[in-house]
Structure 1
Amino acid sequence: MTNAPAEFKLGQIGTRPEICAVYGGSRNSGGIVPSVEPKNITLFSDHEVGVTFGYHDGWLAEEDEFGPIFEYTGAGKKGHQTFTGKYGGNNAAVRDHVAAGRCLHLFVAVDTVPGTGTKRHRYVGEFTLDTAKPYVVRESLDEDKQPRRAIVFRLRPVGTVQRVAEDEIPAATVTGGKLVAAAITVCKLIEPEKNTKKKAKRSAVPEVEAQRREADLSDAFETYLTAQQHTVGRFQIKIKGRTSILLTDLYDQTDHVLYELKGTNTREAVRMALGQLLDYGRYVKTDGHPEMPRRVVLLPSLPDEDLQELLADHGIGIAYQDGDTFIGVPPSLS
């Protein structure tokens, strides 16, 4: 998908005015620069800026069956990042770039023009969002050093791109989990239903209906727990030697219970939840609860008997929604 001459070669360096002259957009648009004509979105990444906000843009060391991923943090320096508002509109443009017919071109800051503060940027190549998981949501710091929700786009290369060591995300030096706010979740950003006769074509927003069901279940259960005066959070988990970050579903701090939510009762969903709980549960510890948490799969309804036995064989509990209440939650909430 190419709409403008690729005048910048891989590794070529230029200033914002030089780059925008080729790919379009305003040179003063921040890190995400959309262009109507030519149909491009230029992404500017700066490793030094990322460190001040507690994140690292760059290549994940771990590749899946579809190849490499470059993580790119969205726009918005203060408060939660969103898909609406002044900066959120640019995030939405990235999210919807396929439907809009726009190319994503990535540049990384390398130095400044001698004798000035003007930054120069190196061309990494053309990208598109991962179709299976276009973005994740994590906790990071805003410009006031306050925790906030950050959108992290997962970019896939289109054709040949430049991959150099300085663009790699540093691997974690220790293994451990960090307790973060329950609001740090992609579920909070799922788009609402639109009242249209024909469903709009979405780009890079996979399985939106399933995600929405899971989001509704998460919101309902979080409300249920907090109404019982329980404190709810999540864990961001880093593994020593790896660059990717894991994010759990809801964690009940009061009862030390880790929940994995699924919006459907299919065997595939239940097996995935089982594996996630067996994995994540090893790292969910607090000063008050250094022991393994109780682990529970939360579903929209009770699964079939065979799946119940599967979970029981691994010491995993089951909770499910029943109207305005939930069945199978720990005794203190029953």
Structure 2
Amino acid sequence: MIIKNPEEWKFSRGDFATRQFMTEEYGTALQSGIAPSPISSHVVLYEVPERVDSLSVKSGWGDDDSFYYIGAHGRVDSKSPQHPEVDPFGNPSNKVILTAWQMGRPLHLMQGERMFRASQRRYRYVESLVLDDVLEERSSEGWPIPIFRLTPVDKITHTPGVLPCPSNSGQVKIIPVERHELICSHSGISSLATLRPEAQLEKLLCLFLVRQGHPVSRLQIRHTKDCSPLFTDVWVGSANLLIEAKASASRDDIRQAIGQLADYTRFLSKANHAILLPNRPEKDLVKLAHSRQAALIWPNEAQSWESSAMWLSTLGFRFQGA
């Protein structure tokens, strides 16, 4: 039996869906353009190609490779002229976008087809996005309108400093994961054939996390003067999560991963731990990892991902208990 997991984002670039389907899967509103899911962390942004001639910035992709999304306006109530103009940034819908990063809520853009009947319109999944900046313009009627400049998550995976460094000691540095190493613009994945087994597994996991709206990076740890630094496998800053990848689910590999995580996390502030494996290990090894506060992650036959810890479901992993 497949357990429905609304935290798992089910779409790849180019997939189509109706708003009714999105409502059934994620509980999002049928009408609102900014539609936060009440049953998961995901926020769906619906965009229909339309012209707003009074704005200098148009909805859609800009020359800077950012997507410009027009938010809810701060319309003045014409029937109550004594009321002051509404601040657009106080609008609950706009607040969802403004606070998404701090709240750990991925923003997913769905772009609609041009159709006469809106009820029949399908939406194409475009990107998982992160707020980069906010602009404000005025409509021809004088209403303030926020315009959100959004950046693709896979583009910021290579930007150090987007997330705060997990340590104040100066010994830890966020290391870029270059976009071309992670994403192929056409298929969404580059060739894995030449990579080591654990590197293949790591890259597939990173692609999944990026699709869920979580930028990935690595950490460089300078532990001892005049010694070579340590480099971690995967750092998910939005979840304060350090992941160590292994090529097998054997006892030796899991014990080694536990030791490496213990070494790395001495230099981090309250980091969560997880071990990435090619398959689910036996129960005794699950207990071993949990005794060291390390969760386990592995792929399943349905090309999705599972974990041994309930809290990882917030990243889209299906919880599989004992």
Identify the TM-score tier after normalising by the shorter chain: 0.3 to 0.5
TM-score by length of 2: 0.40
